[in-house]
Structure 1
């Protein structure tokens, strides 16, 4: 697609930071504030997938006016205020938009458009070469991070991932899908620009969102196609170093996300390969944050695969990479990964020391340096991972206490984690000699399995079932065993 060469009369102004919105966030981290936005959306029947990056873009002034779904959520969160009070520009003043009636938005039903990604696209970032078409592209640049918050689009996306082939799923990711089609046809992939980098980052968010809601089993094979495309984009190169860095980070994060889908669905060898790919990408680009993330997941995988000493070493390597980043929350999570390894080695002292470090780091609170991918890590996850440590050490009452706290604290939006913590609770109660309570927790997990596809959770429930078999005479246990026995076997 040819770019326009028509210039406008006025130079483009850099975005102004939205200081009013930043003040409203207060002491909460971007990830914590994003979680509050999602909760507020559910209160009024909206569905938005706000994350730390979206909050950052608003505060940086890149989003001058939110879409209508976000507008309703923000006005619900801060009653009595207007968009202008929140630091946004009036909708009628945003160039390239028109005022619309309540309930309408530019995004509803619009597919992703293709960005012009020729080499000269990147060289125009600080020049004024704008036409009406460029205004529409600007609108799309904003919508790239907003359209997935539309209820209808979310349903379409879920169907694309859960029921369609890999090519269809990849095509739903905008420029990534087009690059995949080119690669499949044997044509050389053109050099990547900011449009591809943005689509790659969005692919990572979408996969994480779908995993949070539905688990990994239905996503893994479909997510592999965008990953192949991501590395094809790396091979094609980029015209600017900043874009190349985004591509490397995005490809590495996507490799970790796909690796996690493999991990959670029981494909440990595949997961190990994807994590190693992400680690190599991090080291090639000197990306300490990506390296810490890769080692973090490698530690988790090693623990689950029965290699606890490797889990300890990987977690310690992650901590060495993460120290210069200045994120206490990241160090807390990595200490928990180390604790899981020590528990697997039956080293109670080492485990307890790592758990104390994890609690200490967590208690220091969130910060601006917390990675975007850590938005899942809150008090519920802290409790859930500690429960797993005590369970591995055979301290069932203590494990059950932490698992119950995790389930109680978990935001219901994250259906997979709620099912996981409840399954952990059921198993700990069963092994701790409390069969009726275990069966009750197990029934709650079964109620969630219509929305969640996770081999990990199915495996945990199968183990709990074996422990509860001698207690079949209990009506609650019998009901749980019968319902579990009627489940279709995971593919």
Structure 2
């Protein structure tokens, strides 16, 4: 568990020099853009690092800091080793299942999510409130709603920090183990909306945006862990919040995820409609990368309809928008959308259209381009490649790629990935006479039996 006794990071403070925390945060953002990263660094984040609250940065910040200070290590910057912060030191003492890294990280993260709402007296009261609430923050039978009270910086920051922490852990491991715990701060966030009053309009806007983003994050965890109807409900909740608040950015995000979910649920027409609605909401926001992602969501839906010309047009728009590059208007949640993800989403389109060789080419590029730190996505990309090779009749290559997926499964809990991999084994089963294929199928049976 993370220690509650923060030790100030004097080394990092010395590197800031005479610059204010805000000026230093701006320098961090500029450095991030130089290497194609997107970090939402502000003076508050710098303060959290210097106070020792952040003992080790996430991987995106790590790359930025090491770019800013060439030749220095995280230790030189005053940070603790990642394994001491994330609970990896006890790896050998934990049995499988569940995966040791994931188990310890989720225990830690769940504890953080519970504590993140205890940053003030009013937030402490709300931390207990969700236990008496139904799905979506609706009071359960016999539950008593909290008294109305002021909502300030502490409560809003707690919601925003919960979103960031959930996204970080999902990037690394997938949603299966985190979904139920993450639902608790979501209910607390909507309790804040229902019972709190903000002194400033800006605070109210941030609270609506934070609650909506938290609903989307929890919805994604549900989606990734095979709870499609729960995900659908959370995305609808986020969309309603966006509409009430007049928040076009939140609306675009909700439609983006709704489109993705509809595609995965076998509802391609709904996927196209949601993607088109998301593009209408996103156009005034000035983010080409957001429009690119939404165009790819549309392409996925059109591929599901068998509309190859429409899919190709949407992919063309996506690539043209993506090539315009990142900008300040790009939402914080889009840090995952890099060239590797672009290639992966295009691979899925060609796969849905049955063009297996083309799908495999794009999936292979996605694997090659993906940052190995994002274990869950790397496993997903390798699984897509395995599927495309298998469906394209390249059984032995598929088996080789499948072994590389299995190499990552100890640290990933994603029902989507496991379902895709199970489909691969069904395709390869008739070819089990080949040594490589048989070896993969036997190893898969062993691994899937251990992980349940």
Partner of 1:462: 422
Partner of 1:181: 128
Matched, 1:289 2:232: no
Mind listing any 5+ residue stretches in structure 1 that lack a counterpart?
A: 1-12, 35-51, 83-100, 109-148
Change (3 A) 1:16 1:374: closer
CA distance in 2: counterparts of 1:405 and 1:472, whole angstroms: 27
CA distance in 2: counterparts of 1:444 and 1:243, whole angstroms: 47
Partner of 1:25: 31
Of residues 392, 398, 414, the one that matches 2:358 is 398
Partner of 1:77: 67
Deviation at 1:265, TM superposition (A): 1.1
Assess if the C-alpha contact under 8 Å between 1:169 and 1:222 holds in 2. no
Q: Over residues 161-205 of structure 1, what are the superposed CA-to-partner deviations in whole Å (9 max), with x where a residue is unaligned?
A: 635897x46423243773222554857254321111111111111
CA distance in 2: counterparts of 1:72 and 1:363, whole angstroms: 25
Change (3 A) 1:414 1:266: same
Assess if the C-alpha contact under 8 Å between 1:214 and 1:453 holds in 2. yes
Residue 393 of structure 2 aligns to a residue whose secondary structure is coil
Partner of 2:184: 225
Change (3 A) 1:224 1:335: same
Residue 150 of structure 2 aligns to a residue whose secondary structure is coil
Deviation at 1:293, TM superposition (A): 0.2
Residue 191 of structure 1 aligns to a residue whose secondary structure is strand
Q: Over residues 267-300 of structure 1, what are the superposed CA-to-partner deviations in whole Å (9 max), with x where a residue is unaligned?
A: 1111100000000000000000000000000000
Matched, 1:312 2:272: yes
Assess if the C-alpha contact under 8 Å between 1:336 and 1:354 holds in 2. yes
Mind listing any 5+ residue stretches in structure 2 that lack a counterpart?
A: 1-18, 89-100, 133-143
Q: Over residues 293-331 of structure 1, what are the superposed CA-to-partner deviations in whole Å (9 max), with x where a residue is unaligned?
A: 000000001111011000000000000000000000000
Change (3 A) 1:77 1:305: same
Partner of 2:115: 172
What is the alpha-carbon root mean square deviation over aligned residues? 3.2
Partner of 1:332: 292
Q: How many residues align?
A: 397
Max Rg structure: 1
Partner of 2:87: 155
Deviation at 1:381, TM superposition (A): 0.2
Assess if the C-alpha contact under 8 Å between 1:423 and 1:457 holds in 2. yes
Of residues 204, 212, 217, the one that matches 1:252 is 212
Of residues 256, 262, 277, the one that matches 2:222 is 262
1:84-233 correspondence runs (5 A): 151-155=83-87, 159=103, 162-163=106-107, 168=111, 170-175=113-118, 178=124, 179-182=126-129, 184=131, 188=146, 190-233=149-192
Change (3 A) 1:462 1:103: same
Change (3 A) 1:81 1:432: closer
Partner of 1:125: none
Please state which structure has a larger fraction of its residues in helix. 2
